[in-house]
Amino acid sequence: MRLRAFALLAATIFALAGCGSSATRESRSLRHATLILDFTPNAVHTGIYSALARSYDVDAGVRLHVIAPAASTDAIQLLETGRVSFAILDIHDLAIARERGENIVGIMAIVERPLAAVIAQPGIRSPRQLDGRTVGVTGDPSDYAVLDSVVAGAGGNPRKLHEITIGFNAVPALLSGRVAAATAFWNDEGVALTHARPGFHVFQVYDYGAPSYPELVLCATGSTLRHDPALAGDVVRALVRGYRFTVSNPKAGAADLERLVPGLDPRLVSEELTVELPIFTGTDGQVGELDLPVLRAWARWEARFRIVSHPPDVARMFDPRFLSLAER
């Protein structure tokens, strides 16, 4: 209910932002697009909110409306049904949707590294020590892949784990001692656990055999990209500027996020953004990069750990040309 209330509030705020004589005149020449986030607004979305706060969307000829999902499945469902123009999706959800036959395409990376991890109790110093222990998972298919990859990559046996479904409650499950470890995001739950009780060990999937895939991707339907490629290019242009600003001016970027999303904990935003800044840029220092060789390695990993039955067709699943348009 709280997420739904926020989504409605966000939509109202951006609708009101269009009021007033100058804004009304301006909106007549702007195209409108709606972007739904993957989760509630947090530090990983800072570049998006800087793009709004600094009118980079308007500069690109677009009035971008950003909403939060009411449930974890909302983003992909609303994108598939055409109720939103763009969505931030977890790359695994994108792969699963493509395997179902949905024509959804990734056009910009939001982060350049996996965010997935296994977080373990202070006494567990290696994933190998999880053999025979209880490990919490959300229930998402990618959780099992991350867990298996991390444990196997450390020389352990994933078949010896006792897995239980805990939903998105890794922090309380770990703090209470209900589980020895849990799958979670190192940039979110990892930071929250450090706040609550230092000493937990974070085993990032990237360090245990997974390729450096972009966890979060800006996506659109193939239909949108065919019928209005200019809109996609302009949205990418705005977000690229927003993330470049965040990387160069993290304090100002955090202030943009906190101003447009009241109620966030500034200290938590600052700490999360600090650990995320290095993953907003690719190997060439650019934001949004879609590295096709890396993505092909990811596709093989995705099938190997049974998130999907066959390696995704990277050439069809991603379209990096909009990043080239953003450079113009």
Strand (E) or helix (H) holding 238: helix 229-248
Residue 326: the pLDDT is 67
Residues of the chain with pLDDT under 50: 1-25, 27
Residue 283: the pLDDT is 85
Can you list the domains of the chain with their CATH numbers?
Answer: 2-113+213-326 (3.40.190.10), 116-208 (3.40.190.10)
Residue 328: the pLDDT is 60
- 38-49 pLDDT, tens digit per residue, is 999 999 999 999
Contact predicate 160/176, CB 8 Å: no
The predicted model scores a pTM of 0.89
End-to-end Cα separation, the chain, in angstroms = 42
Tell me phi and psi for residue 214, to 5 degrees.
-80, 110
Cα torsion through 322, 247, 283, 278, rounded to 10? -130
Give the span between the Cα atoms of 231 and 227, in whole angstroms: 9
Residue 9: the pLDDT is 38
